[in-house]
């Protein structure tokens, strides 16, 4: 009903303010519950990953799979505009999980096919990043014979 008197309008306004306050409290509670739900979902997903079929593979078998996946690819190191970057499957595989990263870092043959693209840099910072990345890849390859491709523009 439409309020006709000032008293009815004041009562309705008071009710609106009370309901608005309730809505704000509900929004805060919902946000808190949503955060708790998201945290629990992350825990559940992590625990599911621990029992996934790929976890049953031995490190040797998984390492051989990584060798096959990266066999036809070089690790590309290049300077792109004002920063250096590394490109290749081996990098992406290290981002999957800490177990894969540790395994990949322990296999020097995965780091022994390197394509250096020596492009003109616009900054000394990019050149420094490029050098640091190159040194890191060479350290990861250890004493494995290298297959090195160079390109200069």
Assess contact for 119 and 153: CB atoms under 8 A.
yes
CA distance 46 to 41: 9
With b meaning 16 or more CB within 10 Å and e meaning fewer, what string describes 107-142? beebbbbbbbbebebeeeebeebbeebbeebeebbe
Which of 111, 103, 113, 114 has its CA nearest to residue 142?
A: 111
pLDDT value of position 81: 75
52-71 pLDDT, tens digit per residue, is 999 999 999 999 999 999 99
Which of 19, 16, 39 has its CA nearest to residue 27?
A: 19
CA distance 15 to 28: 20
For the segment 2-15, the average pLDDT, to the nearest whole number, is 95
Contacts of 153 (CB under 8 A, 6+ apart): 117, 118, 119, 120
CA distance 31 to 37: 10
Q: For tokens 């309705």, name the residue.
A: 12
CA distance 46 to 95: 15
112-138 pLDDT, tens digit per residue, is 999 998 877 668 888 899 999 999 999
- Residue spans of the domains in the chain: they are 1-51, 57-152
Confidence grade of residue 48 (pLDDT, cut at 50, 70, 90): very high
Assess contact for 77 and 117: CB atoms under 8 A.
yes
| Token digits of residue 22 | 């309730």
Residue 22 buriedness (CB in 10 A; 0-12 / 13-18 / 19+): exposed
pLDDT value of position 124: 86
| Token digits of residue 107 | 């296999």
């Amino acid at each position: 009903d439409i309020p006709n008197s000032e008293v009815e309008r004041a009562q309705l306004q008071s009710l609106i303010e009370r309901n608005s306050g309730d809505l704000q409290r509900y929004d805060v509670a919902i946000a808190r519950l949503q955060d708790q739900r998201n945290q629990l979902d992350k825990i559940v997903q992590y625990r599911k990953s621990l029992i996934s079929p790929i976890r049953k593979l031995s490190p040797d078998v998984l390492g051989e799979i990584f060798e096959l996946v990266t066999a036809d690819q070089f690790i590309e190191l290049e300077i792109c505009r004002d920063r250096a970057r590394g490109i290749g499957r081996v990098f992406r595989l290290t981002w999957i999980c800490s177990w894969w990263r540790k395994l990949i870092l322990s296999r020097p043959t995965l780091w022994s096919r390197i394509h250096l693209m020596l492009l003109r840099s616009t900054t000394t910072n990019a050149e420094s990043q490029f050098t640091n990345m190159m040194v890191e890849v060479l350290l990861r390859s250890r004493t494995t014979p290298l297959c090195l491709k160079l390109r200069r523009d």
